Chains A and B, each alone.
Chain A
Amino acid sequence: MNDFLGALAAAWQLVRSGDPTLVGIVSLSLSVSLTAVLLASVIGLPFGAALAVLRFPGRNAAIVVVNALMGLPPVVAGLFVYLLLSRSGPLGSLGLLFTPTAMVIAQVVLVSPIIAAVARQMVEDLWREYGDLYTLDGVGMVHTVSSLLWLGRFSLITAVLAGLGRAAAEVGAIIIVGGNIAGVTRTMTTAIALETSRGDLSLALGLGIILLTLTLAINATAQFVRNTGRAAAI
Chain B
Amino acid sequence: MTVWAWVRLCAASWLLLVAPMAVAQEPFITVASTTSTEESGLFGYLLPAFTKESGIQVRVVAVGTGQALKIGERGDCDVVFVHDRPAELTFIERGFGIDRQDMYNDFILVGPEADPAHVDGGKDIVAAFRKIAETKAPFVARGDDSGTSKAEMRLWKEAGIDPKTAGAGWYRDTGSGMGPTLNTAAAMDGYTLSDRGTWLSFKNKQDLTVVVEGDRRLFNQYGVMLVNPQKHPHVKRDLGEKFIDWLTSADGQRTIAEYKINGAQLFYPDAKGGHS
Contact = CB atoms under 8 A, between A and B. Distances in A.
Is this pair of chains taken from one and the same complex?
A: yes
Interface of A: 24, 27-28, 30-32, 34-35, 38, 86-89, 92, 95, 97-101, 146, 150, 179-182, 184, 194, 197-198, 229
Interface in B30-65: 30, 35, 38-39, 44, 59-63
Given A87-B76, A101-B21, A35 B234 contact: no
A181 B59 contact: yes
A92 B75 contact: yes
Contacts, number: 66
Interface in B190-245: 232, 234
B23 A97 contact: no
B3 interface: yes
A100 B19 CA distance: 11
Contacts of A86: 74-76
A184 B23 contact: yes
A31 B20 contact: yes
B59 A95 contact: no
B17 A34 contact: yes
B21 A32 contact: yes
Residue among B14, B17, B35 with max Cβ neighbours from chain A (10 Å): B17
B75 A150 contact: no
A57 B112 CA distance: 90
A194 to B, nearest CB: 8
Residue among B21, B23, B39 with max Cβ neighbours from chain A (10 Å): B21
B55 to A, nearest CB: 16
Given A38-B10, A98-B59, A182-B60, A88 B23 contact: no
B168 interface: no
A114 B74 CA distance: 31
Given A100-B23, A150-B3, A184-B23, A95 B35 contact: no
A38 B14 contact: yes
Contact of A180 (B1, B61, B232, B234): B61
Contacts of B60: 181-182
Given A35-B18, A38-B10, 18 more contacts: A24-B20, A32-B21, A86-B74, A86-B76, A87-B74, A87-B75, A87-B234, A88-B74, A97-B76, A98-B76, A100-B21, A100-B23, A146-B3, A180-B61, A181-B30, A194-B39, A197-B35, A198-B39
